Structure 1
Amino acid sequence: MTLHAMEAPSGRSHGQPKTTKFVLILIFVTLVFLTIIPVFYPLLGYPLYLLKASSPKPSPTTVYDDSPEPELRSSIKISQGEECDIFSGEWVPNRAAPYYTNTTCWAIHEHQNCMKYGRPDSEFMKWKWKPDGCELPVLNPAQFLEIVRGKSLAFVGDSVGRNQMQSLICLLSRVEYPIDVSYTSDERFKRWKYTTYNFTVAYFWTPHLVKSGERDDDGPTQTGLFNLYLDEFDERWTTQIEEFDYLIISGGHWFYRPSVFYENHQIVGCHFCLIENVTDLTKFYGYRKAFRTAFRAINSLENFKGITILRTFAPPHFENGLWNKGGNCVRTKPFRSNETTLEGDNMEFYMIQIEEFKIAEREGRKKGKRYRLMDTTQASLLRPDGHPSRYGHWAHENVTLYNDCVHWCLPGPIDTWNDFLLQMLKMEGVRSHQERLYSGDRRMRFK
């Protein structure tokens, strides 16, 4: 390629070396730009911290402005003139925490009651989440209850979902305790009511989100072998949620267990079932199909007018062995964001959720359904210190519990998930106000 100097108006050539250098730099920058755009294109529309792991200087504006699904945005206004991605950040010390204890809140599940069972350190309770570029307020219980006055909230999922519900009850206990208004004595399906605020919170146990049942209580890993009917609704929750204003759906950890997959009433494969002539499709196949069916169930409910919130996968933190091979979580402080990264199974679970969420949100929008994303994955990934480990029971007890690096101590990092929730509820108020203004403006213009 021949590079010619630019000519001045008089026809004489000036500054050829400097101009040539400028043109070379321009060509190089253009080539680099054309090279990296295809690399980042598949990630456009995904949370910012995933791009941080791939690029030292991501562009949040480009990422979010190119997102095809506006509802996927996790950028939430914290105060007037301030906006940031509340789900991307770091943990910072917070001497004011905790805001309740295991002696002031009765709602803590025994296996997450770490202080009761002798956890020797307490620093894991004294951190708060600091988003990049703004502050996330700690949950104000009176404000929360006022916002949800006359409304209802359902947690749908496994015991980590129950973990968050119990955290919420404890955080709100500074204002009021709820009364049990459950329809059944089954602890897997609970309802609590805050009578002063006419606010109901419920929990629906559905570890696989779809219809499932235990096939063998032993199984290849001695944790049971399950039949998963991947195209069938779990009616224990799908027939109960139409009345709720908010639905928080989550799941993941039960898909590690051996399972046989059914579709159209036929076995189509399995995950580590070790059954002759049954193809191992991996846990990810079952996970994707289960979320797809769960979202299809929600979109099929004509009378459900609430908001569906997907709470993203919270990675476990087993080190020095698998969960059933002596793995444990003994760290006593958070990671910094540059000390770990989302990868392997955790990344795969997370991406499946995001992809299925986008499909469901797009289909639901046609029917007037509303979806929101509570992206707890990065904040959770950075907290290897927040799990019960062996402090979910007395040391002398003859129990067969493994070290718990899946659930979260209460008080603990999971309380921040409810800080996220309050901020999202505030944002819904802003959305409603803007929609009313827009609707009023349209009526005025069309008169």
Structure 2
Amino acid sequence: MKPPPTSSSSPTSDLVRKARLSPYLFTSLAFFLFIVTTLYGRDDLNCILRQCDLDISPNQPLSTPKKHYKKLPFTKIEERENGCDYFSGQWVWDPLNRPLYQESECPYILPQFTCQEHGRPDQDYQFWRWQPHGCSLPSFNASLMLENLRNKKMMFVGDSLNRGQYVSMVCLLHSLIPDNAKSMETLGSLSVFTMKDYNATIEFYWAPFLLESNSDDPIIHRVIDKVVRKGSINKHGKHWKGADIMVFNTYLWWMTGHDMKILKGSFDDKEKEIVEMSTEDAYRMGIKSMLRWAKKNMDPKKTRLFFTSTSPLHLKSQDWGAEAGDNCYNQTKMIADPYYWGTDSSKSMMGILGDEFRKSNFPVTLLNITQLSLYRKDAHTSIYKKQYIPLTPEQIANPKSYADCVHWCLPGLQDTWNELLFAKLFYP
């Protein structure tokens, strides 16, 4: 039986004629070509037969090669299918490898995070390592991080929780830099850690809502009646331009317990038009503004955008099944229930993040630290921090009345947040 005629312009027909195959071998080859064409498509088949040399990222499926595409440092190509879910796992006791640095050896830790210096009697909170299910979290490599930050700017933008993550990152890196080649400077809302030999900076910018608000003063921002100005992200955003890696967060300041007050117009207007908006709608407005700013001011081929999810509070002991009346004070054990989720507000806010990030045509990587941090009622600063406001005799007599169950000791939990950031930068 003769093989059916084929077009002279087809590379497959040339291959068949030159080979003068037997009917059996021809049938096998035809079956092979059918399978390849079905799986990869005609263009990829032609490429295979011509032995094309394409530069394809290891994360890019072969079925959609990008010709002449060169992966740049920190650029997000595509999440690997069936890859490791770094955010689902459990805490493992690891005193041999934790903490990743010593509190006393990092001079950049702010006094509201130095728990040992302020009398915390235990250290167990420092010795836990996050272990994802079914895979391993890559070890933080400070040398690799520094080398890839060369000639770049990394920026954290948000509230004091993001400032804690920023300080953690500085502490993870600074010991490899000589004293005369590094510096820390704070001017207003901006803090800059400079690494001179690398021509690089790691920066933090205080903007608890990301949008302009009446809480923007980096020192005096404890405002009872919080007001956020609609459509005002450029007020702060002009200070963020040029960053190669952006790490945003915003959540806690939106949780006022009532509807948010939204300003239309300017804070300079004599007669201010203020409307009320539900917390969820206001938060969604803020996230959309952030994504629009990123699309306008960041290049997805050269930069990376991260968002750190909601950091949990441990204000009510009944939330984790204990007797009512306690909080994180004197808690030295984490929550054992692997299904513990916390308050409904975290769920609704996480839902908003998921909705908006899925719809966004600008690539954003969510650092989903919420679930793994929910277990860690043992890791808060509690009463072991600098108290900027003098304590009353009543507070001194009842320590849990002034325990900080929002922020975290360093070293500690937030180092894990940066391990996850590192993993998503280099092993997405």
The alignment's TM-score, normalised by the length of structure 1, stands at: 0.66
Q: Say whether 1:282 aligns with 2:278.
A: yes
Q: Say whether 1:384 aligns with 2:377.
A: yes
Distance 1:76 1:411, change over 3 A: farther
Give the aligned residue type for 1:104.
E
Deviations 1:266-288 (A, max 9, x none): 75633xxxxxxxxxx43222211
Q: What is residue 34 of structure 1 aligned with on the other side? A: none
Q: Say whether 1:415 aligns with 2:415.
A: yes
Give the aligned residue type for 2:252.
H
Quote the Cα distance in structure 2 between the aligned partners of 1:122 and 1:269: 47
Quote the Cα distance in structure 2 between the aligned partners of 1:412 and 1:312: 18
Distance 1:223 1:302, change over 3 A: closer
Contact map agreement 1:214 1:224 (CA 8 A) in 2: no
Q: Say whether 1:241 aligns with 2:240.
A: yes
Q: What is residue 312 of structure 1 aligned with on the other side? A: 309
What is the DSSP-based 3-state SS (H/G/I as helix, E as strand, rest coil) of the residue aligned with 2:103?
Answer: coil
What is the DSSP-based 3-state SS (H/G/I as helix, E as strand, rest coil) of the residue aligned with 2:232?
Answer: strand
Quote the Cα distance in structure 1 between the aligned partners of 2:298 and 2:383: 45
Q: What is residue 110 of structure 1 aligned with on the other side? A: 111
Q: Say whether 1:150 aligns with 2:151.
A: yes
Quote the Cα distance in structure 2 between the aligned partners of 1:381 and 1:74: 25
1:87 to partner: Cα distance: 0.9
Quote the Cα distance in structure 2 between the aligned partners of 1:207 and 1:226: 11
What is the DSSP-based 3-state SS (H/G/I as helix, E as strand, rest coil) of the residue aligned with 1:84?
Answer: coil
1:263 to partner: Cα distance: 4.2
Distance 1:302 1:171, change over 3 A: closer
Q: Say whether 1:260 aligns with 2:261.
A: yes
Quote the Cα distance in structure 2 between the aligned partners of 1:179 and 1:397: 34
**Aligned counterparts, 1:92-103, within 5 A:** 92-96=92-96, 97-103=98-104
Q: What is residue 164 of structure 1 aligned with on the other side? A: 165
Quote the Cα distance in structure 2 between the aligned partners of 1:137 and 1:297: 31
What is the DSSP-based 3-state SS (H/G/I as helix, E as strand, rest coil) of the residue aligned with 2:213?
Answer: strand
Quote the Cα distance in structure 2 between the aligned partners of 1:313 and 1:355: 15
Q: What is residue 226 of structure 1 aligned with on the other side? A: 226
Deviations 1:131-168 (A, max 9, x none): 00011133121222123222221001001111001011
Quote the Cα distance in structure 2 between the aligned partners of 1:386 and 1:226: 28
1:241 to partner: Cα distance: 2.3
Give the aligned residue type for 1:254.
W
Distance 1:89 1:320, change over 3 A: closer
Distance 1:89 1:302, change over 3 A: closer
Give the aligned residue type for 2:183.
D
**Aligned counterparts, 1:414-433, within 5 A:** 414-427=414-427
**Aligned counterparts, 1:43-442, within 5 A:** 83-96=83-96, 97-176=98-177, 179-180=182-183, 182=185, 185-186=187-188, 188-213=189-214, 223-236=223-236, 238-257=237-256, 259-263=260-264, 267=273, 269-270=275-276, 281-301=277-297, 305-320=302-317, 327-336=327-336, 338-360=338-360, 362=361, 364=362, 370-393=363-386, 398=391, 402-427=402-427
Contact map agreement 2:211 2:286 (CA 8 A) in 1: yes
Distance 1:269 1:393, change over 3 A: same
Identity level (%): 26
Quote the Cα distance in structure 2 between the aligned partners of 1:352 and 1:160: 20
Contact map agreement 2:155 2:202 (CA 8 A) in 1: yes
Q: What is residue 49 of structure 2 aligned with on the other side? A: none
Deviations 1:360-399 (A, max 9, x none): 3x2x3xxxxx322221111111211110011113799637
Contact map agreement 2:155 2:246 (CA 8 A) in 1: yes
Distance 1:405 1:196, change over 3 A: same
Distance 1:158 1:335, change over 3 A: same
Aligned CA RMSD, in angstroms, stands at 3.1
1:204 to partner: Cα distance: 0.9
Quote the Cα distance in structure 2 between the aligned partners of 1:129 and 1:289: 33
Q: How many residues align?
A: 325
Q: What is residue 219 of structure 1 aligned with on the other side? A: none
What is the DSSP-based 3-state SS (H/G/I as helix, E as strand, rest coil) of the residue aligned with 1:231?
Answer: coil
Quote the Cα distance in structure 1 between the aligned partners of 2:310 and 2:385: 22
Quote the Cα distance in structure 2 between the aligned partners of 1:128 and 1:252: 25
Contact map agreement 1:309 1:371 (CA 8 A) in 2: yes
Quote the Cα distance in structure 2 between the aligned partners of 1:300 and 1:124: 41
Unaligned 5+ segments in structure 1 are 1-70, 78-82, 216-221, 271-280, 365-369, 429-447
Quote the Cα distance in structure 1 between the aligned partners of 2:140 and 2:293: 31
Q: Which has the larger radius of gyration?
A: 2
Unaligned 5+ segments in structure 2 are 1-75, 217-221, 267-271, 320-324, 396-400
Q: What is residue 11 of structure 1 aligned with on the other side? A: none
